[in-house]
Amino acid sequence: MNNEFAPDLITLIDDEGNEHSFEILDTIEHEDSEYYALYPFYENPEDSVNDAGEYYIMEAIINDNGEEEFAEIDDEDLLDYLAEKFEANFEKLFDDEDEI
């Protein structure tokens, strides 16, 4: 089976130890940092019915143990800037798909 169209998934563990799966929609490098657009992933599509349909923007950081972690972005101006860039990328992606 060809997995070319399989989602690129990542599992994050919150502060309470709960696992959450996300699809990586896109990444952006900005000022020596890498940012990810993540969309909640559900094994059962019916579980996504109650989802708000929003994606999350997280910064990839290296913790004290040298492991990659994802952190929320507190700077509203940076978050707005990144959201604008991600939205432009999504729009371009969907425009390119329409041409196929």
Q: In this predicted structure, what is the pLDDT of residue 72?
A: 94
Tell me, what's the pLDDT at 4? Answer: 64
No. of helices (H) and no. of strands (E), the chain: 1, 5
Residue 28 domain-assigned (yes or no): yes
**Which residue range(s) make up the domain with 78?**
9-98
Non-local (6+) Cβ contacts of 41 within 8 A are 7, 9, 21, 22, 23
Residue 3 maps to a domain:
no
pTM for this model (two decimals): 0.80
Residue 43 lies in a domain: yes
Per the domain annotation, does 18 fall within a domain?
yes
Number of domains in the chain: 1
User: Is 26 part of a structural domain of the chain?
Assistant: yes
Is 21 buried (19+), middle (13-18) or exposed (0-12) by CB count in 10 A?
A: middle
Q: What are the residue ranges in the chain where pLDDT is below 50? A: 1
pLDDT number for residue 1? 46
